[in-house]
Amino acid sequence: MSHGAKKHDTVDGLTSGEAFAAAERNAVYRAIATRRDVRGEFLPDPICEEALSRMLTAAHQAPSVGLSQPWDFILIRDKETRARIARIFADANAEAAIRFPADRQAQYRSLKLQGILSAPLNICVTSDPKRGGPVVLGATHMTDTDLFSTVCAIQNLWLAARAEGIGVGWVSILHEDRVKAVLDIPDRLRLVGYLCVGHVSGFHERPELEKRGWRERDDLALHLHQERWTAPKPASE
């Protein structure tokens, strides 16, 4: 460290920017690498309130455009409410299946894509584009930044949950207007994430969609560009 600063010293209101110790650093990367979208492995055991509080605190510590903190978290445990959401999913899922090519529809229908009823807790995450006021610093030209901020909060929660040994599944096959009606969500808010949360019997070693042959993870090199965006090379090259 420069200028003789010691670990955890504060200089001019700044804390040390030193790298984490190896064990701490590895734990962060392990949480990222082993995080999974959980669907069929939920256990009925309730989540410890202390662990849930840590996860929600991590979510609330996410970066947000103009420090607007546009997110809200609706905690849903009631079985009848979850059953109503599950019916909305079932309708949307049936509609989604027929959008895929005929040779993939059977495979799609075989996938378990939600744990709404099997997870003991559902969390609906919303975003309020007006939370930071009529003009939000940083959102004057990219107007969806409240959504980006809320997704950061969800990712924080997801990684914290993995560190706690708790699974999270993101359900995106839903009719937003119907979910909002069930949960009394005001029209101005956007439904960003509907999460199924709970202890699990285990985490898949690889992402489940990869494991079941739906898609493979690309090589990072295919997504890297230097200085400017360049079109991907044809497979024949």
Classify residue 64: in a domain, yes or no. yes
The pLDDT assigned to 5 comes to 41
Question: Has residue 225 been placed in a domain?
Answer: no
- Residue 229 covered by a domain: no
What's the rounded mean pLDDT across residues 158-162?
Answer: 97
Instruction: Scan for tokens 């905690």, then name that residue.
Output: 75
Domain count, the chain: 1
Which of 36-50, 91-105, 132-146, 206-220 bottoms out in mean pLDDT, i.e. has the lowest? 206-220
4 is a domain residue = no
The token pair at 31 is 């949480």
The model's pLDDT over 211-229, given as tens digits with 9 standing for 90+, comes to 766 788 888 888 889 999 9
pLDDT for 160 equals 98
pLDDT value at residue 97: 86
Q: Which domain range does residue 124 map to?
A: 36-205
pLDDT digits (tens, 9 = 90+) for 57-77: 999 999 999 889 999 999 999
* Residue 147 falls inside a structural domain: yes
CATH number at residue 122: 3.40.109.10
Query: Which pLDDT band holds residue 4 (cuts at 50, 70, 90)?
Result: very low
Ranking 21-25, 95-99, 153-157 by mean pLDDT, the lowest is: 95-99
How much of the chain exceeds pLDDT 90, in percent? 62
Answer yes or no: is 234 within a domain: no
Q: Is residue 231 part of a domain?
A: no
pLDDT of 98 = 81
